């Protein structure tokens, strides 16, 4: 798992880090009121960032490898 900014998220979507085998990017509001992007990779729970916590609020799928 990794939390990245929009620039890195967009690079993942563009295929720049395909060898790292990303599976999903979730956009969410972080605890400090900003946007963050949680990335999961092959072998990790794809729904990790879809669970709301005190740090992950209003999660929504930004990109999913299965749909591309």
For residues 11-48, one letter each, b for 16 or more C-beta atoms within 10 angstroms of the residue's C-beta and e for the rest, the string is ebbeeeeeeeebbbbbbbbeeeeeebbbbbeeeeebee
Residue 38 near residue 25 (C-beta atoms within 8 A): yes
pLDDT digits (tens, 9 = 90+) for 6-65: 999 999 999 999 999 999 999 999 999 999 999 999 999 999 999 999 999 999 999 999
The pLDDT of residue 68 is above 80: no
The pLDDT of residue 1 is above 90: no
* φ, ψ (nearest 5 deg) of residue 26: -115, 125
User: In the numeric block, which tokens belong to residue 59?
Assistant: 């999660």
Q: Rounded distance, CA 33 to CA 23, Å? A: 25
Domain boundaries, the chain: 2-67
Predicted pLDDT of residue 67: 86
Q: What's 10's DSSP letter?
A: H
pTM value is 0.93
């Amino acid at each position: 798992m990794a939390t990245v900014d929009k620039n890195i998220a967009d690079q993942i979507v563009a295929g720049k880090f395909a060898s790292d085998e990303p599976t999903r990017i979730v956009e969410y509001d972080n605890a400090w009121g900003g946007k963050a992007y949680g990335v999961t990779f092959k072998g990790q729970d794809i729904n990790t960032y879809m669970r709301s916590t005190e740090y992950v609020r209003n999660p929504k799928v930004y990109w999913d490898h299965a749909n591309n």
